[in-house]
Structure 1
Amino acid sequence: MTDTTTSAAAAAVARTTTAPAGPGPGTADRTAPSAAPGAPDALGSLGSLGLFTLLVGAALPLIDFFIVNVALPTIDHDLAAGPALLELVVAGYGVAYAVLLVLGGRLGDRFGRRRLFAAGMAAFGLTSLACGLAPDAWSLVGARVAQGAAAALMLPQVLATIQAATHGTRKARAIGLYGATAGLAMVAGQILGGVLVSADLAGTGWRAIFLVNVPVAGLGLLLARTVPETRSASPAPVDVPGTLLLALALTTLLVPLAEGRTVGWPLWTWVALALWPFATAGFFLAERHADRAGKVPLVPPSLLRLVSLRRGLALVLPFSVGFGGFMFVAAVALQQGLRLGPVDAGLALAPMAVAFFLASLAGPRLVARYGTRVVTVGGLLQGAGLALLVATAWHGWPDLDVLDLAPAVALAGLGQGLQLPVLFRVVLADVPADRAGVGSGVMVTSQQSALALGVATLGSLFLALVPAYGMRTALAAVLVCQLGLVAVTVALSLRLPRRLT
């Protein structure tokens, strides 16, 4: 499943020096000579095969967030799902994933990140099997929620392990490859979904987009021993009130926004949205109270006082809202507007994937020379690509093909590839190694929530405009909104620390 995502990453990783795989199963850093407070919490170094394994684990959840976009019409036909349940197939995964990410990072800090990575990988394989065998729409929704929970257990361990088991230029390269993998996975998901649905492997149809995860998860489990075991030197207990309040805050925002338009905005959607600011304020106050009482909150306020983390997240949010909305809208516009088949709809985004990956690989060298101004340039290039796409769609609709769209999507992908991996480095630059799990959980939760928010808001705007103004105008309106988000990221990028450690 992840050949496109991981083969280039493995080749790049192979250029690094392979190090010992690290401690055996269940071995914590306390078995090593004691380190100074705040020092990295593992002596086992992350080697090339271990990094490759982690990148496979990073790719799977993001691919599966987007892979269903091109399969929704087929799922609707086979299971008679209807619009509301189709929205839940997407939203159920995204909400469970976002809600549990920080908790997953905390559990990895406490019980061992490799152990939680392997458990999450096994659970992801099993829940993917359940998705692929779902007999009806509600079973598929339930399996997707469980799959999102499994992803939340697995993904935070990837960045946390990189933070704890790499140093210096190796850490910068590994985080860069993580960013490249994450960005490529989000695009490759829709490409792969189109190919698998059209191929109809052994008559499985849309089910193949889930069943293909099973052997990949099995491979990940076999390779998990190449990942060094790390954990926090002073693990904190689970913050139950913080976890419940964060879940309430994210659920009351994301679920009504995802389902509202489809179900006609009933009373419960407005009640949930009205509860959201109170749940968010309650979460903030509970975390601050726990911090002042000497406890360890789910999201320590002291972590949010890190300037690099705050400023990096301020860019990750609008970037991800735009990206999530764009990918959803593109899937609908290409298939229903331009009448492209699933394969052609996926291939239309291939230039974006290639440009993103090449730009992200060049990113570390460019950052070493030009600093974080690479993010500013990337935003300008992404904006130019989106503007070109607006012009192309407006003047050529509906007689456009894959080649007509290629220059615009490639330029946008180039700009995105210069931004996302660097932003990940910015967010994590000053996070202490003993808080690597919660730091990576906060970052990925922010990204995932923003992706889901982008689908809910920009996707709903697009679908609401289509009946009244047509597909071309609706697409142009969404792209203009995304251009506004790009302008925000460009402006905020000027406040980033000029140099990264």
Structure 2
Amino acid sequence: MTTTTSRTVHRAASVDAVPQAARALTGLGLAVLLVAYLPVNMTFGSVNVLAPAITADLGAATSGGQLVLSAYTTTFAATLVVAGRLGDRYGRRRLLAVGLGGFAALSAAAALAPSLVVLVALRAALGIAAGLFTPQVLSTIQATAPGRLRALGVTLFTAVSGCATIVGQVLAGAVSGLAGDHLCWRLVQVATGAIAVLALTALRAVPESRSTAPLALDLRGAGLLGASLLLVVVPLTLGSSAGWPPVLVTMLVAGCALLGTFVRSQRAAERRGELPVVPPSVLRTPAVRQGLVMTLLFFTGYGAFLYEMSSFAQRGLGADAWGTVVLLLGFGAGFVATALALPLVERRAGRWTMTGAATAQALVLAALAGVVGTGHGGTALVVQPLLVTLGAAQALMYGPVLRTVLSRTPTWAAGVAGGLFTTLQQLGLGLGVALLGGLFQSVSGRAAAGTATGVARGFAVAVVVQAGLALAFAALATRIARADREA
């Protein structure tokens, strides 16, 4: 049955290899697509910086800020697994319009949220809207752009993905300097929605396209995955601060049980010759399976670090939102500069690039924990060199792990693997904030020392755990490198 599925999808992929569009993508159309993609990660980066302002304005506990972040990334991840197929079936530009319109409207509504509950619900809906249009951006580039523009488009798409978080942080810092806690995060929500409106008004420059042989939607599988992720992430986010009441424990158990049902449904669908949202046959390739685990490890640590660093800067170092952005600019600069130099580095380090980078990340994180935890992190200047190095190490992990997943995937499942990578990216961001962010807040809250010292201790403990994630990443990267050497 797996062979049947592979043949069916391979025929579909072959048919759709020729761009199915009335006209080709132009440079202007590519610019519109990149602008459309910009607010996706901007909203995550900005809320990371503004989480304290949100909780202060709405009178919520610190875990409320974590929930605002996790609600967005979790529903985003759950929607991605089926949104690409919706675009293939009903038209990619149409899904872009629906998603961008929803994103703009929900951003405006979130800016007016009167309470944390309303804001979390709107942020969850915002994640669904972002998940609807995000896959259409890259799919449209691949399906409608001429060869040279297609290569440029993919390169710029990757660059925008990395820079958008930093742009969101800079926007948050700039706005916070002009408005108080009540207005700053609301104005940033309006700004990200305005970018979506800008892209929506120029969408005519983007050609419509769809697949001539669209894959089955597997709405049941997508629904099971989305529900199980929500049932797992919400209690993990709130559990430690709420003292694990029975309702949260029940949600977590139900979510784990539903994940088991999801796995069984995917196996059964593939045995019937269908293509489920997460095909088990794709995961049987060792390098793909290991690469996806590495993706989850990487983004769990990445999402947690941005959250913890922002909180530590404001509560531990006494920085305002703009001071937090300035502190993180070194991290962002190290990431972007190294990403641009990645081909040169890989030519020298070869297959051991990811192993070396992950090991370096673990060492830098351990050094950060030591500096901050022992009370020597009193100024931004002390930690800045470590942050720049950390950004560089992460760039050397991000690009190669994406290439590992995509290059080892069978041709017929290339789109599926890309969707899985993006899904695990967003899920990792949410889990990082929920799990390691929760650990950070828990240790900070229990510390008997002063507030600043307690925050520093919580940061150090969480960062040590992230160093462990980096070492696990390095171990998997080493296995892949050795398999390549023996091949």
Per the TM superposition, whether the score is higher than 0.5 is yes
Match of 1:253 in 2: 232
1:458 aligns with 2:442: no
Per-residue displacement from partner, 1:371-399 (whole Å, max 9, x unpaired)? 44332333233234323323432455452
Residue from 440, 445, 469 that aligns with 1:485: 469
Question: What corresponds to 1:6 in structure 2?
Answer: none
CA distance in structure 1 between the aligned counterparts of 2:53 and 2:140, rounded to whole angstroms: 38
1:398–1:419 Cα change, 3 Å: closer
1:22 corresponds in structure 2 to none
- What do the CA deviations read for 1:341-366 (whole angstroms, capped 9, x no partner)? 11001110001111111111222454
Distance 1:296 1:35, change over 3 A: closer
Report SS of the residue matched to 2:270.
Answer: helix
Any conservation in 2 of the 1:329–1:462 contact (CA below 8 Å)?
yes
> For 2:393, which of 406, 410, 415 is the aligned residue?
415
Secondary structure of the corresponding residue to residue 290 of structure 2:
helix
How far does the alpha carbon of each residue in 1:136-175 deviate from its partner, in whole angstroms, 9 at most, with x for none?
3333222212211111111122333344456988766654
Cα distance between partner residues in 1 of 2:251 and 2:368: 36
Residue equivalent to 1:208: 187
Alpha carbons of structure 1 residues 405 and 79: separation in structure 2 relative to 1, 3 Å: same
**Quick check: 1:194 aligned with 2:173?**
yes
Alignment equivalent of 2:365, drawn from 386, 397, 401: 386
- In 1, Cα distance between equivalents of 2:101 and 2:351: 38
User: For 1:437-466, what per-residue CA distance to the aligned partner results, in whole angstroms no more than 9, with x for missing partners?
Assistant: 543332211111111111111111111111
Verify the 8 A CA contact 2:39 2:193 in the aligned structure 1: no
The one-letter code of the counterpart of 1:451 is L
> 1:249-398 to 2 correspondence within 5 Å?
249-367=228-346, 371-397=350-376
Identity of aligned residues (%): 35
Match of 1:89 among 64, 68, 91: 68
1:378–1:59 distance in 2 versus 1, CA, 3 Å: farther
Q: Answer with 79-88 or 140-149: which moved more.
A: 79-88
TM-score normalized by the length of structure 1: 0.84
Aligned-partner Cα distance in 2 for 1:175–1:292 = 34
Q: Deviation digits for residues 12-36 of structure 1, max 9, x if unmatched? A: xxxxxxxxxxxxxxxxxxxxxx994
1:233 to 212, 215, 218: 212
**TM-score (ref. length: structure 2):** 0.86
Unaligned runs of 5+ in 2: 1-11, 448-453
Q: For residues 28-74 of structure 1, what are the alpha-carbon distances to aligned partners after superposition, in whole Å with 9 as ceiling and x for unaligned?
A: xxxxxx99447355476655444443333333122212322332332
Aligned equivalents of 1:80, 1:394: Cα separation in 2:
29
CA distance in structure 2 between the aligned counterparts of 1:170 and 1:278, rounded to whole angstroms: 46
**Distance in 2 between the 1:191 and 1:463 partners?**
24
Structure 1 residue 412, shift from structure 2 partner: 0.3
RMSD: 3.0
Q: In structure 2, what is the Cα distance between the partners aligned to 1:222 and 1:135?
A: 29
In the alignment, structure 1 segments of 5+ residues that lack a partner are 1-33
* Cross-structure match for 2:56: 77
Q: What is aligned with 1:182?
A: 161
Give the stretch that moved more between structures: 122-131 or 167-176. Answer: 167-176
* Larger deviation, residues 310-319 vs 428-437: 428-437
Contact 2:170–2:322, Cα closer than 8 Å, also in 1 = yes
Mapped contact 1:318–1:486 kept (Cα < 8 A): yes
Say if 1:124 and 1:147, in contact at 8 Å, map to a contact too.
Answer: yes
What are the within-5 Å matches in structure 2 for residues 431-446 of structure 1?
438-446=416-424
The alignment of Structure 1 onto Structure 2 pairs a total of residues equal to 465
**After superposition, what is the alpha-carbon deviation per residue over 1:226-247, rounded to whole angstroms, capped at 9, x for unaligned?**
4444433321332132122112
Contact kept? 1:183, 1:417, Cα under 8 Å: no
Select the residue among 421, 426, 430 that pairs with 1:448: 426
Distance change (3 Å), C-alpha of 1:173 and 1:408:
farther
- The answer as to whether partners of 1:164 and 1:433 remain within 8 angstroms in 2 is no
Tell me if the contact between 1:51 and 1:174 (Cα under 8 Å) persists in the aligned partners: yes
* 1:91-133 deviation line (CA, Å, top 9, x unaligned): 3222221221112122122222232123212211111111112
2:6 is matched with none
Change (3 A) 1:145 1:496: same
| Structure 2 counterpart of 1:472, from 456, 459, 469 | 456
Q: Are the counterparts in 2 of residues 131 and 140 from structure 1 also a CA contact under 8 Å? A: yes
